[in-house]
Structure 1
Amino acid sequence: MKDKKLLVAISGGMDSVVLTHLLHGLGYAISLAHCNFQLRDQASDLDEKFVVSLGEKLQIPKYTIQFDTVKYCKKNKVSTQIGARELRYTWFSELLALHGLDYVVTAHHANDNLETFLINLTRGTGLDGLSGIPALNGNIVRPLLFFSREQIKNYALSYDLSWREDASNTDTKYLRNKIRHTIIPILQEMNPSMLQSFTKSLYFIEQSKQIIKDRIEEVEPSIISRNADSISFKISALKKLSDPSAYLYQFLKGYGFKEWNDVYNLMNATTGKFLKTKSHTLLKDRDFLLLLPTHKLYSNDSQVFKITESDVVVEEPIRLMVKNVQKLASLSKNTIYVDKNLLNYPLSIRKWSDGDYFFPKGMLGKKRSISI
């Protein structure tokens, strides 16, 4: 790892100062990156000055940036915490590319991990949310994750390190702070070894996740087929599993779906029913669920949708209702009549192509179809 160039995310607080001191003392090639979110008036500017001064003292590269966080969050309709996270990690990625750096290193520790676990637990989550913060996630490394806040503070005091205190960390209007200052002390009173017990539980959760991963890899070939633009899930194979909805969740959890009951019900829906996230669409297509990027679904001129003889209602790409009738009813511009005996199923719905034509009732000969 010492041959890698590291970008240390530093707020100026105790944890990030200790991380900087450790890595610098061990001879790592580090640079400092500090985000001024302009949320605490003069205190935010003093944090920035502290980091700049530390970089100069250690004679290492330092990068700072100021964000109009309030404006960004309002524009993108996200919370302050989410907005700040999006801003800083986007900037970190830019710094890595611009300066040829290898990893972003953050100062998350064991107490942060416990707080994140409890936050996810209160909001409802699967095993991934209960796994806490990963020590390694792509090019993000968290080397202090196995140390407690108390251990880190003891280190800072023993080396007489200076740091900046963030007054907002004591404000219990924020959920994380409420858990930190209200809930965790009660848990530690009940079990003084709470942090160690939690770390052990994380290990068992990771073991369970690996078992699930192994099982998913085992059944995937009989259920999933992939091509360049889409993934198809064979519904009949899914329904043979012990709990189809649980497997479907594992297959689809990374695509942004939230209303899982609607996802599960799609297996029994009519052809053409679909659900969308910001990035993907899940479409019921006869005996399959098709997952494809939403932009592909609506921009691919060659996309073909099939109608089987058993389909009564079609939702995608246009809404159609198919009925058998014995005689013509009153004519309407929204209704067409075709001779069922001349139809060859499955029928196809696609965009207009050059050369398409049809034979209108009451007219002689054929007529070119037009794009609508």
Structure 2
Amino acid sequence: MPHVHRESLISHLQLNAQFTNFMLEDFIHFIQKENLFQPEDKILIAVSGGIDSVVLAKLFSLAKFNFGIAHVNFSLRGEESLADEVFVKKFAKTLKVDYHSIVFDTKAFAEKEKISTQMAARLLRYNWFEEIRQQAGYQYIATAHHQMDSAETVLINLTRGSGLAGFHGIPVKNGHIIRPMLFANQEQIFDFVVEKHLAWREDSSNESTKYQRNFIRHEIMPKFQELNSTFDETLAQTSERIRDIEAWIQEEYAMWQESNIKSDTANNLFVQLNVKSAREKVMQQRWLQSLAFNGDQIAQITNHPADKVGKIFESPLYTLNIDRNQWVLSPKDQSEYKPILVQEEDEIIDLGSQELHIYVEEKTADFKVPTEANIACLDADSLTFPLEIRKTQEGDWFCPLGMNSKKLISDFLTDKKVALNIKKTTLLMLSKGSVAWIVGHRIDNRFKVSDKTETVMIFELKSKS
């Protein structure tokens, strides 16, 4: 990518922005200094709804950069997660930018892969961000990490023994990931929010010290700040010096990847095993870590005799097979943790052991709503496509047919004496985030066929023949 000239960025800002402020100028200067992107590039911003990501999106908007917003609902905080999603969607509309969102069953992924929910959320979101980046033509993905985040990451890495790479904190640029707010401290962020009268969503889980990062944030960092009130900035300066060394290693790493890693049309990866050297081993370890293999696995893989083939290793993202003079890695399918999308023109949806058949009928005077639990008749005008089909999650609720009050879906299924293992696999159909049908059980009162209904959308659950 050509060098980003400060003059081009500043002129871009002066031409398009109504006004500037110190935070915005620092933001522009940091992008220029770190050569993050060109003014005309299209950037995908990860927005959770929290204060940091809201500020990042606002800075992009004020600078008149070309960007879109991506939001992930990890289904970890019930109604709070749904409210975050609604907030970010409205925020994107206010900024008049493209909006992308997805819901993940994060707990199921974490349980299956035997990893923490934090690690599961990280893997799911970055994989999805990269999918959107490629599909929608974004050049980079921007996250809202700032100086305090980077300082906390250094301390976390120290506890994990992550080597030299851990001392540079959060990298400013890593492939297609950029962090344009690493110049900012918390005080600057709060001042900007006050000045611009910005609203944001507070994540209640941020206060829980059961998570490692929160423990460091609330218990450890204040102790360091008693010794040095600008500890986060001091650590950021130290990390910057280390980044110069890491940049050289990164260049070596990029050359190693280009020479040794190949892929096929199915996204399988093939790693050529060369004569082992200290350099080769370091590069292999770094690459395996990027694919979410843990320390013990990486040691076993890199020390495994190349002539003993057939050994299998699993990470949450890949299955690795030690083959003849190479590693063969196949990507894991994560589609089961994503909702199934139903488009308006769809006629049959594959649900594994069952199929969902979709019909549309005009409502006539003699139309009768079927009473079978496997059939849902919904007012077509009340539905917003694409619909989503996913498993039930904690905090899900609906208004049962015939009622105008909320009921937790877990309570509804309990009242129906649905067995626990079946509860976990029960599917919901959602329209614009609201439950329209507990598939195979009950529809939501808000989507029922009424006297005003003109067109009926019929969903019929059938066993595969």
> TM-score, normalised on structure 1?
0.64
Structural RMSD (CA): 3.3
Cα 1:67–1:211 shift into 2, 3 Å: closer
- Sort the Cα spacing of 1:55 and 1:261 in 2 relative to 1 into closer, same or farther, 3 A: closer
- Which whole-Å deviations, capped at 9, do the CAs of 1:118-142 have from their partners, x for residues lacking one? 1111011111122221111222211
- CA shift at 1:51, angstroms? 1.0
2: CA distance, partners of 1:265 / 1:29: 46
Q: Which residue number in structure 2 is paired with residue 250 of structure 1?
A: 282
Deviation of the 1:112 alpha carbon: 0.8
Q: 2:84 touches 2:201 (CA, 8 Å); kept in 1?
A: yes
Matched with 1:146 is 183
Relative to structure 1, the CA distance from residue 274 to residue 211 in structure 2 (aligned partners, 3 Å threshold; closer, same or farther) is farther
Q: How does 1:160-171 map to 2 (within 5 A)?
A: 160-171=197-208
The CA deviation at 1:248 is 5.5
Identify the residue that residue 57 of structure 1 maps to in structure 2: 94
Paired residues for 1:93-172 under 5 Å: 93-172=130-209
When residues 234 and 91 of structure 1 are mapped into structure 2, their CA distance, relative to the original with a 3 A threshold, is closer
Gaps (5+ residues) in structure 2? Answer: 1-37, 263-269, 331-465
Which one has more relative contact order, counting CA pairs under 8 Å at least 6 apart? Answer: 2
Aligned residue for 1:86? 123
- Distance in 1 (alpha carbons) for counterparts of 2:73 and 2:116: 17
| Structure 2 residue aligned with 1:361 | none
The amino acid across from 2:215 in the alignment is K
Do the aligned residues in 2 keep the contact of 1:106 with 1:141 (CA within 8 Å)? Answer: yes
Seen in structure 2, the aligned counterparts of structure 1 residues 209 and 27 have a Cα distance that, compared at 3 Å, is closer
Distance (Å, rounded) in 2 between the aligned partners of 1:90 and 1:264: 25
Q: Would the aligned equivalents of 1:108 and 1:145 in 2 still touch at CA under 8 Å?
A: yes
Deviation at 1:50, TM superposition (A): 1.0
For residue 63 of structure 1, give the secondary structure of its aligned residue in structure 2.
strand
Counterpart selection for 1:23 from 49, 52, 60: 60
Q: State the match for 1:35 in structure 2.
A: 72
Shift of residue 196 of structure 1? 2.3
Shift of 1:117: 1.2
The 3 A distance-change label for structure 1 pair 88 and 273 is closer
Inter-CA distance 71–60: structure 2 relative to 1 (3 Å threshold): same
Change (3 A) 1:119 1:160: same
Work out the CA distance in 1 between the residues paired with 2:251 and 2:96.
Answer: 48
Return the alpha-carbon distance in structure 2 between the equivalents of residues 41 and 227 of structure 1. 41
Structure 2 partner of 1:292? 327
Q: For each residue in 1:224-244, what CA deviation from the matched residue of structure 2 results, as whole angstroms up to 9, or x when unmatched?
A: x97986645446xx5xxxxxx
Distance 1:81 1:227 in 2: 29
Tell me the residue number matched to 1:304: none
Partners of 2:190 and 2:306 in 1: CA distance: 60
Partner of 1:306: none
Change (3 A) 1:274 1:44: closer
1:6/1:103 contact within 8 Å kept: yes
Residues 189-241 of structure 1 show CA distances to partners (whole Å, capped at 9, x for unaligned) of 11123122212211232233356678999xx9xxxx97986645446xx5xxx
Name the CA shift for 1:95/1:211 in 2 (closer, same or farther; >3 Å): closer
Aligned CA distance change for structure 1 residues 274 and 187 (closer, same or farther; 3 Å):
farther
Contact 1:55 1:61 in 2 (8 A): yes
- Of Structure 1 and Structure 2, the greater strand share is in 2
Structure 1 distance, partners of 2:229, 2:176, is 34
Q: How many angstroms apart in 2 are the aligned matches of 1:226 and 1:92? A: 26
Structure with higher Rg: it is 1
1:228-307 matches, within 5 Å, as 231-234=272-275, 238=277, 247=279, 249-253=281-285, 254-255=287-288, 256=293, 258-259=295-296, 272=308, 277-278=313-314, 290-293=325-328
- 1:356 matched to which residue of 2? none
**CA distance in structure 2 between the aligned counterparts of 1:160 and 1:85, rounded to whole angstroms:** 30
1:62-73 map, 5 Å? 62-73=99-110
Q: Which amino acid aligns with 2:49?
A: G
In 2, the alpha carbon distance for the partners of 1:52 and 1:214 equals 39
d(CA) in 2 for partners of 1:263 and 1:257?
A: 11
> For each residue in 1:35-90, what CA deviation from the matched residue of structure 2 results, as whole angstroms up to 9, or x when unmatched?
11121122111111111221222222222222222222222322111111122222
Cα distance in 2 for partners of 1:31, 1:271 equals 48
The runs of 5 or more residues in structure 1 that have no matched partner are: 239-245, 296-372
Report SS of the residue matched to 1:32: strand
- Residue identity opposite 1:250 in structure 2: V
1:202 counterpart residue number: 239
